[in-house]
Structure 1
Amino acid sequence: MSAPAGPGLDPGDVAAFGPAGAAPRRGGLPRPPVVLLALGVLVVATSLLPLGFVLWSTAQMGPAEAWDLLTRPRFADLLWNTTRLLVGGVALSAVLGVGFAWLVARTDLRLSGLWHGVLCAPLAVPAFVNGYAWVSTTHAVQSSYWGAVLIVSLSYYPLVYLPTVAALGRLDASVEDVAASLGAGPGTSFVRVVLPAISPAVLGGALLVGLHLLGEYGALQLLNYPTLTTGILDQYRVSFNGPAATLLALVLVVFCLALLGLEALARGNRRRARVGAGVGRPAARHRLGRAAPVWTLVVAGFAVLTLGIPLSSLLRWLLHGSSSSLSSGGLGSAVGTTLGLAVVGGLLTTLAALPVAWLAVRYRSTLATLLERGVYPANALPGIVVALALVTVSINVVPALYQTLPLLVLGYAILFLPRAAVGVRSTLELAPPVLDDVATTLGCTRAGAARRVTLPLVLPGLGASVALVSLAVATELTATLLLAPTGTSTLATQFWSRASAVEYGAAAPYALALIVLSVPATWLLGRVAVVHQQSNEQGNEQGNEQGRPA
């Protein structure tokens, strides 16, 4: 259905004016509600606290001292390692994510539902657990660029795969039909038609991968691959030089800003929401023909790399490790704490991302874009830098918050707000604003239209955002080590204390428990992608029935 936009005005034009009843701004754009704007500013200001701490701490260094640090050969090595890991890791993750998403969603690959679950499953294996499994299996991956790229890509490619599967499920198949009618083959159609249409999902996932690589510590430390992040931890641990460490963190922020600029440039300002069922049938699946068994073996072999090696390594150490003695009470306490923090952190972070994403999608402006981009710099900072910022602020401003669970949850929200923002924004972009306009013309208030029209459309995406953030919270390491109250331990911290002491047998139970605990959230993320595809097919069938003459 479409709104009665009047002569010469189509639904896309109506959508450009935002929700009906919104106060107009210069240029005909809607003015955001004051409460929504205030919430967005509060969220962004809180997320920028660590960046303020980095700038303040770095300013305590003299220009000569800063220049001396930035011109050292060690800094050049860290910068080079970080840059090439970022390029290689993001590129390989994007290729793997898009390639396997296409194979599962758009070909007649046998048992595609099963393979979809298998391809989502690596989200349940934290990167530092993956690194531990590979290092304890073979030392060939240590001190190796290609080993580091391989392991981080195997850990983070689902961040590209999941949104790409969902986008392919919602893509109007008519665009491919038009390309085929003009003589384009499957490859040409994918590159020139499909890939630009799903580019927001691919770019959002690639951005998340890049941000995670900038802040990754555990896996790279185990792999003995030094980057700016491991250098920051070395500065704190060896020399206790806070200003020098925060100067390195400031370089990471520059990397983050560069990633944001590239993603924004590639994304553009094109609106992608549509009203109506579109084509009256699901997209046709491409036939693999004689190559079907080969591609099945490719997916199976990839599953061995992503799941087989980590799980077999953990089981081997659990059964045969000489240090595998474990207190069941300690494991149970760590499981309960991890689960509670993951749920609370996921819900709080997704709620915090909602006003920021709403402003960026429904009230597009320079201010809204700046607010949305303002949540990303903290994600490029290592968890220890965010934690030190919160410790400094809490001790000097709100001493009662120091060494409390609320401060730890706030740290999680700041660290993982970009995960939630990407998920919530991509969901809102697929909910046409014109539907809110129709609801308001029928007597609904703007709040009522958002609750009755928009919320049901974005609820699956919000659930996926909660699951994605909960996974990150459950596996967070460095900030938890510093912010957790005395006596509070999680599966990640218990695992790390044993793995870093080379007690692989004692670390294995905590790693396995962490994987098992992450399975429900991983299943939910995979299920949301499937539901997106099924709902699109059902909508197409309904549109086909409504479009037929009686």
Structure 2
Amino acid sequence: MLLAGAAVALLALVPLIFIAVYAVLVGPVEAWHLVVRPRMGQLLWNTLSLAGACMATCAALGVALAFLVERTDLPARRLWHGLLVAPLAVPAFVNGYAWVSLDRSVHGFGGALLVITLSYYPLVYLPAVAALRGLDPALEEASWSLGHSRWLSFWRVVLPQLRPALLGGVLLVGLHLLAEFGALQLLRYPTFTTAIYDQYGSTFNGQAATMMAGVLVFFCLLLLLAELRLRGRRHYARVGQGAARRAIPVRLRGLRLPMVAVPTAIAALAVGVPTYALVHWLLVGASTEFPLAELTEATASTLVLATLGAVATTLLALPVAWLAVRYRSRLTTAIERITYVPNALPGIVVGLALVIASLRLAPVTYQTALLLVIAYAILFLPRAVVSVRAGLEQAPVVLEQVAHSLGTGSLATARRVTLPLIAPSIGAGAALVFLAVATELTATLMLSPIGTRTLATQFWSASSDLRYGAAAPYALLLVLISVPATVLLMRQERLQP
């Protein structure tokens, strides 16, 4: 298991090695001048301010909505749960396209904060719902018996138990925002990622772009260290006697109907606006067309690549998460942390690193689907690792110990006991990766075999030329193929009656 985890970490280090080697070749003096340019200050402020604001809003919104749906007597809770998970089926750049195409005033910091929050809050909402459902209600009842109100019990008892889920979700939001390109480019909000793309694509300034990527890696490391310190070394699995039961829901009484307005507004903004925009441009767009052959080819390519990427990434995430939870040490923690770092890199940086590595080490893999799937695995490992780790955190280790005491070997215990317990988390991780791969843009443009077209690349080609009608069919198909994975995530978190 340790060898497998080390191999995954080494694979994830390929882009970082590329950046480090490039920085050494540039030289310390030139590298310093590239980093301290005035433009870097503006990009630094834009990136950090947006990342901090989005992480805070996604955390607050995700936890609040999870508590409202899971722990209150809100009417039609199943319906609202499905609608609140639905934004995962709408890629961030499609969301940005919808808002920008309908209202050109949606841009800059405010527009970016709105679109990114609406696109990414489910990354916090879903694990928060799962954690709330797995929390032993006896802890809250004990707090009530000591005279604490429900509100005080939430802050002192419930919220600390949500720490792994909350921090894991916020970490994913931060990492994905650091690497977000499509939505921010459409919203005309410059960050390190958009600047890196511009440097590579327009001015061909590889040195400046690589130094910017190095700055992104630095802030990614800071984010990982902060999350690690806040998480601590506590265990959250329920090991007490007795049957698990659902907590008594909070009665909203006269606030039931007003509270319905909260998920209604979020669903309308996150799902209703993109849906309206797509239908609008399909019906009235001057450039609207339906090239069936191209649409079919792009859809098939997207489905195949997304499936391969999801399977490969989830398999690679298993040993990393297993080591991090079951065999905690500085080494295993380092292996897990390493897999998170490339997620903050733009896809174009990972693509360039793999192009150079493949040409020098394995030329036969250049311009193949294998190299593209490897890029997906490097980029989206955190989605699978966070999900699998959350499942392992709440899988009681005592059950594995009992299996060992009965003479069952490690592999048999994993197959018969642990894997069935964490199967929902594995499925959720695979679904998250599927959604990410289906909507990945820059690495796909760079690494896909000649002639390969995906829905994301075709959509971007049309939308970047302001042909909103031509882009609409590809965006609609992107949403439709994302629906099954989103439904799977929703079913994994099926609400109890």
- Whether TM-score is above 0.5 comes out as yes
- Structure 2 unaligned spans of 5+: none
- The share of aligned pairs that are identical, in percent, is 57
Question: Is 1:432 the counterpart of 2:396 in the alignment?
Answer: yes
Report SS of the residue matched to 1:136: helix
Among candidates 250, 254, 258, match of residue 218 of structure 2: 254
Q: Deviations over 1:262-311 (max 9, x none)?
A: 11111000111223555664201001111111110121122110011111
Q: CA deviation at 1:430?
A: 1.1
RMSD of Structure 2 on Structure 1 (CA): 1.2
Supply the distance in 1 between the matched residues of 2:313 and 2:264 (Cα, whole angstroms): 35
Query: Within 5 Å, which residues of 2 pair with 1:56-455?
Result: 56-142=21-107, 144-276=108-240, 278=242, 281-455=245-419
Q: Letter of the 2:143 partner, please give it.
A: A
Cα distance in 1, alignment partners of residues 8 and 231 from structure 2: 24
Amino acid at match of 1:426: A
C-alpha separation in 2, matches of 1:404 and 1:127: 27
SS in 1 for 2:26: coil
> In the aligned structure 2, how far is the partner of 1:280 from the partner of 1:388?
50
Which deviates further from its counterpart, 231-240 or 101-110? 231-240
- 2:482 matched residue in structure 1: 518
Q: Kindly indicate whether the alpha-carbon contact (under 8 Å) linking 1:58 and 1:244 is maintained by their aligned counterparts in 2.
A: no
* Contact 2:460-2:471 within 8 A present in 1 as well: yes
State whether residues 57 and 242 of structure 1, in contact with CA within 8 Å, keep that contact through their aligned partners in structure 2: no
> Which one-letter code corresponds to 2:194 in the other structure?
T
The Cα of 1:512 is off from its aligned counterpart by 0.4
User: Is the contact made by 1:173 and 1:279 (CA closer than 8 Å) also made in structure 2?
Assistant: no
Letter in 1 for 2:82: G
Q: CA deviation at 1:182?
A: 1.3
Counterpart of 1:29 in structure 2 is none
Is 1:42 matched with 2:7?
A: yes
Deviations 1:102-161 (A, max 9, x none): 00000000000000000000000000000000000111211x212111110100000000
Determine the structure 1 residue equivalent to 2:432. 468
Deviations 1:354-406 (A, max 9, x none): 01111111111111111111101110100000000000001111111000000
Does structure 1 conserve the Cα–Cα contact (< 8 Å) formed by 2:136 and 2:238?
Answer: no
In 2, Cα distance between equivalents of 1:449 and 1:279:
23
Q: How high is the TM-score relative to the length of structure 1? A: 0.89
Q: Deviations over 1:18-75 (max 9, x none)?
A: xxxxxxxxxxxxxxxxxx1111111110111001001111222233322322222211
2:421 paired residue number: 457
Structure 1 contact 358–428 (Cα < 8 Å) conserved: yes
Deviations 1:137-195 (Å, cap 9, x if unpaired)? 111211x2121111101000000000000000110000110111112112111111100
Q: 2: distance between equivalents of 1:280 and 1:91?
A: 32
| Equivalent-residue separation in structure 1 for 2:328 and 2:319 (angstroms) | 13
Q: d(CA) in 1 for partners of 2:482 and 2:390?
A: 23
CA contact (8 A) 2:136 2:245 kept: no
Residue 139 of structure 1 aligns with an amino acid whose one-letter code is: R
- Contact 2:317-2:385 at 8 Å conserved across structures: yes
User: What SS does structure 1 have at the residue aligned with 2:105?
Assistant: helix
Distance 1:294 1:394, change over 3 A: same
Which of 1, 17, 25 aligns to 1:52? It is 17
* Residue type at the aligned position of 1:123: L
Unmatched runs of 5 consecutive residues or more in structure 1: 1-35, 538-550
Aligned partners of 1:60 and 1:243 also within 8 Å: no
SS at match of 1:384: helix
CA distance in 2, matches of 1:61, 1:365: 36
